[in-house]
Chain A
Amino acid sequence: MTRFMYLFRHHAANERPSSPEEMQRQMKAWMDWIDRLKQESHLVATGDRLSATGKVVRGKSKSVTDGPYVEAKDTIGGYLVVEAADLDQATALAHGCPVLDAGGSVEVRPISSM
């Protein structure tokens, strides 16, 4: 088994669902998906969701800019660590991620072992 990190990216513009009803729908979708990963013993760690604010420190000059927004159209909103047989399986599991319904993406990255 190999470990993979899922990085969730979404469009800054699509950040906020429009109504409580819509939020509840998304909440349920996330919970169902994570529950399934858990039940099938793929889930290793539930990462936190990241707030949309923050700073970016860049380059040798160590310049500091506000927030991840400035240059990126897609921001990382959270992460999750799963275990799967191979990259194909990890990618297939990511198909159920609700971030896709909101027009976002999941980056699937193998975590290299020493």
Chain B
Amino acid sequence: MEDIPGCVEHLFRHEAGKMVSYLTRFFGLGRLNLAEDVVQDVLCQALQTWPTHGLPDNPSAWLMRAARNRAIDLVRRDDRLRHLTPELTHLLRLREESPEREPAFKNEIQDDQLRMMFACCHPGLSSEIQITLILKTLCGFSVAEIASALLAGEDSVEKRLGRARRFFRETSSAADAPEIDLSSVSERLDTVHQAIYLLFNEGYHSSRSEAPVRDDLCYEALRLALLLSEHPRSAQPATFALVALFCFNAARLPGRLDAEGSLLQLEDQDRSKWDRALIGKGFDFLEESAAKNEVSEFHLEAAIASMHSSAETYEKTDWSRIQQLYNLLYSIKPTPIVALNRAIAVGEARGPREGLAALQAIHPPPKLRDYPFYPAAQAEFLFRAGRREEARSSFKLALNLARNEAEARFLQRKLQACA
């Protein structure tokens, strides 16, 4: 995992996620705030001692030990936490038996993080709340950082977190406890996949921002998907496919923007900037995902992404294979966006006339009609078919629908090119 971009420079974030997950095992989900306060204290303690005393040999174990000790102090001092006595006894025993050793084994911490991930994806919470909560608890983002990553206001992030905390407080004593029994993980794995997929896409195709790509979110989603793939309970074919998909797409991040920060289409990207090591990892996971005879939407999306990643140039891309994959994808995920991408693949594979016919055949629902890349795809094929006037008016239509500066600049360039 250390070779995933961003893993070293965000050590504190990730350690915070581990500690919150670990402490929540003792404090319960109803006391997320308490766990977060302890983590804040522990990181402050590190900030005060490490620069002068030097880094400990194992910073991660140092932090976890400090978190355990702080938790023990709190439970001892606070009467309201009295009922946590069995947990306290457990913690104390661990401290006495192994004062210098890590307070939790690697696999226990993995369990804790997995439990936390599944708790965040409780079906009683909206997907918006789910990813906000994931960023807060598992990824160690502050409210301000979540707000800027998800392009939401800080108050609305606070509101989402408040709702989640209330939900956990109200349900943690009830029978439908959000506390997760790891044996029932498979029932909620789909929801977890969808939440992480959403998190990745939020960073990859932002529609609302001046910053069209936010790598941070993509790498966090990849890190969480890897966590899932490393745990025996969640290491399922669809998980491997999800990791593969993220690897292929994240590998292209360094080539997606030009020097001015404008989005570059696949055909204009400098493929030498793509991260070859990450692409290689993608293929490893894609292979692993095929172990059983299961085909999920992630398998198909990963397979499509792999075709792009392995094509030497845009022209050498195997579009007819991609078209077949989109056909399969559309059969299990018939969304307007998949239909659009499928039509584009048809055009690339069989020529602009067929592409236009395929676009026409979608009968776009209103949502797709407002999506700038629908008229842009029409314009592109019209242009290639030599129908310049119509291409110009379709590009103009697309330009009017552009949702941010980067999209507008991109479409403006296309429009100028068909003058």
Contact = CB atoms under 8 A, between A and B. Distances in A.
A46 B15 CA distance: 26
Main secondary structure of the interface of B (DSSP, over half): helix
B48 A78 contact: yes
B52 interface: yes
B47 A17 contact: yes
A58 to B, nearest CB: 26
A19 B140 contact: yes
Given A24-B12, A24-B13, A19 B144 contact: yes
B43 A80 contact: no
Given A16-B40, A18-B142, A31 B51 contact: yes
Contacts of B51: 27, 30-31, 34
B245 to A, nearest CB: 27
Nearest to A47: B52
B269 to A, nearest CB: 29
Contact of B52 (A20, A23, A34): A34
A46 B145 CA distance: 33
A10 to B, nearest CB: 11
A27 B15 contact: no
A34 B54 CA distance: 10
B413 interface: no
Contacts of A48: 49, 52
A32 to B, nearest CB: 9
A20 B43 contact: yes
Contacts of A18: 142, 144
How extensive is the interface on chain B, given as a class? 20 to 34
B56 to A, nearest CB: 13
A49 interface: yes
Nearest to A35: B51
A91 interface: no
Interface residues of A, number: 21
B50 interface: yes
Interface string A45-88: 01111000000000000000000000000000110100000000
A78 B53 CA distance: 13
A27 B47 contact: yes
A22 B143 CA distance: 12
Given A24-B13, A27-B12, A19 B50 contact: no
A21 interface: yes
A20 B142 CA distance: 8
B44 interface: yes
Contacts of B145: 19, 21
B44 A16 contact: yes
A23 B43 contact: yes
Contact of B44 (A23, A30, A78, A80): A23
A99 B46 CA distance: 16
A20 B40 CA distance: 8
Contact of B140 (A16, A21, A31): A21
B278 to A, nearest CB: 23
A78 B48 CA distance: 9
Contacts of B16: 20
Contacts of A80: 52
Contact of A31 (B44, B50, B141): B50
Contacts of B81: none
Nearest 4 interchain pairs by C-beta: A19-B142, A30-B51, A24-B12, A20-B12
Given A18-B144, A20-B43, 16 more contacts: A16-B44, A17-B47, A20-B16, A20-B142, A21-B10, A21-B12, A21-B141, A21-B145, A22-B142, A26-B47, A27-B12, A27-B46, A31-B51, A34-B51, A49-B48, A49-B52
